[in-house]
Every structure is written in structure tokens, then in C-alpha cells.
Amino acid sequence: MMIDNVLQVAKPKARVFPWGTSRPYNAYKDYLKSRFGGRLQKVSVDAGFTCPNRDGSKAFGGCTYCNNASFVPPYCKPGMSIAQQVEAGVEYLSRRYKAEKFVVYFQAYSNTYAPLEYLQGIYAQALAHPRVLGLVIGTRPDCVDPAKLAYFEELAKKYYISLEYGLESIHDATLERINRGHDFREWAEAVEMTAGRGIHVCAHVILGLPGETREQMLQTAQVISRYPIDSLKIHHLHIVKKTVLAAEYQRQPFLVFGYSEYISLVIEFIRRLRPDIYLQRLVGETHPRNLVAPVWGVRASTVQRHIEEEMLRRGVWQGEKAGAGAG
């Protein structure tokens, strides 16, 4: 798909926003810079978890868009312990990006889906590396409980601890359609139970899920802004190979975002978000060899830059429509 003229930008005007930068949204990377004095490089590890939405305790088959195989980093080999993966990852990323400070990212599947004693063992291996400052843990609302959260609260006194809860949409009909295996209320309860403990709370949403209107997507921005999340990852729906969604798409193709259409929508979404929510991602990214659609032919960093430039060109910023309607 060609990138059209939404990207014809005028030179942006310099202006400082309430979060202290000239970026028209509150970027997580700026927050990390001010808190840690620079970038925190994520070392992804594969702890061999599964997910209650796959193993049958909640459902079989998983979320229709999910392909965790696309998360396996190049330095992870089968059979490596967490300590070995962290060692290999730190070494690889130090060479590649000259990174100095690290957090260990438990990304694939549901990384709190095990008894607490087992979790304590694997997290301790990750935190034992002298250059690791904390953990980022991707999980589901139905895989945390008060005992696990009390443990994370203790860890958070010494380390940076971030829990990432996938939500994707506030609309239960959508969550059912994509087979999330939980509803909005469960997500909201997990977030409220996690907040106030010194744990960084991150949410994920996906824009463009099948059956959702633009207004419904914008409602997601308004509703999640009422919950105590610290940061947000926004993804566009990208259809990844070897997923239920890819099979649905091949059987009967449905509309996916054009490039400028997504940029316009995500800008409206950002305008409706609470201004103190740090934005970690503005677009999804998968390796081109795993991607079915939409194929834009641009890297996520380029999309992110185009969004930023377009917001400045339009004179809009994060939070200026927080509390407004979806229209």
C-alpha cells in the first residue's frame, strides 16, 4: 500500500507539553530517561509458560490473533535456563545496541500462570544479573491473585516491576469474538488490585478488531483512562500467519487499516487519553515474514515518527479531548 499525502508535513512548531517535552504525547521512553537516566533495554526471555486461554482451563485455541512464536528472540535456544537466556541476551544486546541497563521481559504467553513458588524461582534468576534493574511481565487478568501481587509489591521496593495486562478492547462482544477468555470487568478488577503497590501497570489495546466501529475504538480510550494504568501499548490489528484470524481473513477478507487511515484514528485515540498515561507503543509490529495484512512496508519507528509529526502539524496532543465524547 502506498503512503499517501497525510505525511506531507509542515515544519512543526516547538512547544513544551505538560509532560515536559516537545513531543505531542507522553512517551514512555522519555519517562524512562528521566527515571533511569537513559534507555532500559528489554531482554526477552521464554520461560516456557502456556496460557489458560490455550490449555483448556479457560478455553482452547487462544485469542484469534495470537502467535507467540513470533516473539522468540534470536539468542534464545531451547533448553536454556532463564539465567542463561538473560546472560546471552545482555551480551547480544550490549554488542548490538551498546545498551547498559536492562529489564528482563517475560513476554510470550501468560507469565504469572504458575504457582507463586515457581514464579519466585524464575524471577530470582532474572534479577540476579548485575545489569538487570527490573522485570516486565506480560500476563492476563485471570493469572494474578493477592499473594502474587503482594510478592511483586515487595520486589517493587527494590526493582522496577511492570505488569502488562492485555485488554485489547473495552467491549465484551469484541472480547468474545476474538476469544479473549475474559471480559472487561475482570481486566478492570486486576488493574485496580495491582495499582497503588509501586508496580507499574501497563495495558494493551488493539485498534481495528473485527466488528468494531471507529466510535467503539475511541470509547476504549475514554474508558481505560478512568482506570489506574501507568502506561499503554496501542497496536493496530495486524494479521499474523498461523493464527485463527489469518484463517478467517483468508476465507473471507475483511477491512484492515490503510496507513493514513490508521494514523488519523490513532491520533484521535491519543487525544482522548488521560495525559499522564505514558505511551509505550503507537503501532503493532511483526516480522514481515510473519505478516499477512496490512502490509505498509514501513517500520514501527517510522510510523511513530509520522504520528508525532502529524499531531504537531494538526496542533493536537494527548489528553486535550480526555473526557470528550467518542465522536
Residues within the interface to ligand SF4 (CB under 6 A): 51, 53-54, 62-63, 66, 68, 109-110, 140, 166
Q: How far is Cα 302 from Cα 237, in angstroms, rounded to an integer?
A: 17
Give me the least distance between CB of 38 and ligand SF4, in Å please: 30
Nearer to ligand SF4, 112 or 225 (CB): 112
For cell 519466585, the residue is 120
Nearer to ligand SF4, 20 or 211 (CB): 211
For cell 467518542, the residue is 326
Give me the least distance between CB of 312 and ligand SF4, in Å please: 34
Cβ–Cβ under 8 Å, residues 1 and 259: yes
Nearer to ligand SF4, 109 or 262 (CB): 109
Cβ–Cβ under 8 Å, residues 7 and 310: yes
Nearest to 27 by CA among 17, 41, 37: 17
Nearer to ligand SF4, 212 or 308 (CB): 212
Give me the least distance between CB of 55 and ligand SF4, in Å please: 9
Give me the least distance between CB of 79 and ligand SF4, in Å please: 21
Beta strands in 140-228 (DSSP E): 160-168, 200-207
What are the residue ranges of helices labelled H in 98-145?
A: 116-127
Give me the least distance between CB of 112 and ligand SF4, in Å please: 12
Nearer to ligand SF4, 107 or 231 (CB): 107
263: Cα within 13 Å, side-chain hemisphere = 24
Give me the least distance between CB of 54 and ligand SF4, in Å please: 5
Nearer to ligand SF4, 140 or 271 (CB): 140
- Show Cβ contacts of residue 197 under 8 Å, excluding neighbours closer than 6 positions: 149, 152, 153, 156
- Residue number of the CB closest to ligand SF4 reads 62
- Show Cβ contacts of residue 241 under 8 Å, excluding neighbours closer than 6 positions: 67, 290, 291, 292
Please give the helix or strand (H or E) that residue 174 lies within, else none: helix 172-177
Nearer to ligand SF4, 102 or 106 (CB): 106
Give me the least distance between CB of 322 and ligand SF4, in Å please: 28
Cβ–Cβ under 8 Å, residues 301 and 279: no
